[in-house]
Amino acid sequence: MDPENALAEPGNGRVMRLGNATDHDALGELMFDAVRNGHSPYSEAQRAAWVPEPRSGAAWNERLSPQTIVLEEHGGTIRAFMTLRDDGYIDFAYIRPACRGAGLFRKLFDEIRRIAVARGDRRLWVHASLMAQPAFSAMGFQIIRRETVEIGDQFLDRFEMEMTLTGD
């Protein structure tokens, strides 16, 4: 592991670090696993429309490259990640189904928030899925509006949410 990218080493083989281009394909696999497996308020058809296959390739790299990626890995396997764009938008927040309930969302978010405050962001915002909305609410985000988006022949509900940042 590159020590410059290490954010924390919680122990027991767990590492929180900044992601980079070599992680992109693994993040696409993790996103696929998180959406398609485990408990979800979305139907199988909705999940298949949302993430039909693991993301990879040029378009995926172009989307992730300008973002700050914070990830947690254990034994060399990425278990969760969250990304932050330059405009304060949290584009991705995914946790492997087998790792949910272990406090990873809060750990990732705390680091994303720290980075955003340090660079002078005034707000964070997100389009949270039905699954992610309670976690973002627990972090202090407020719902701006509920939306329905069309993906293929499926309609998925989500929430636009925001949080005002202070320097604390």
pLDDT class of 91 with cuts at 50, 70, 90:
very high
CB-based burial label for 93 (10 Å; 0-12, 13-18, 19+): buried
Asked if pLDDT for residue 84 goes beyond 90, the answer is yes
Start-to-end CA distance of the chain, whole Å, equals 30
Domain ranges of the chain: 3-121
**Average pLDDT, stretch 61-69?**
98
Residue 51 tokens read as 């993430």
> Hey, is 78 helix, strand or coil?
strand
Asked if pLDDT for residue 90 goes beyond 60, the answer is yes
**Average pLDDT, stretch 123-129?**
99
Scan for tokens 């998925």, then name that residue: 156
In the prediction, which pLDDT does 1 show?
Answer: 45
Q: Which helix (H) or strand (E) holds 135?
A: helix 133-138
CA 146 – CA 158 distance, rounded (Å)? 6
Does residue 118 contact residue 168 with C-beta atoms inside 8 Å? no
**Average pLDDT, stretch 46-70?**
98
Of how many residues is the chain composed? Answer: 168
pLDDT class of 166 with cuts at 50, 70, 90:
confident
With vertex at residue 28, the alpha carbon angle to CA 152 and CA 160, rounded to the nearest 5 degrees, is 55
Asked if pLDDT for residue 129 goes beyond 80, the answer is yes
Asked if pLDDT for residue 10 goes beyond 60, the answer is no
Asked if pLDDT for residue 144 goes beyond 90, the answer is yes
| Residue in 153, 75, 162 with CA at minimum distance from that of residue 123 | 162
**Average pLDDT, stretch 17-26?**
97
Give the pTM. Answer: 0.92
Asked if pLDDT for residue 5 goes beyond 70, the answer is no
Alpha carbon of residue 17 to chain centroid: 14
Q: Which fold has domain 3-121?
A: Aminopeptidase (3.40.630)
**Average pLDDT, stretch 44-53?**
98
**Average pLDDT, stretch 31-36?**
97
Asked if pLDDT for residue 71 goes beyond 50, the answer is yes
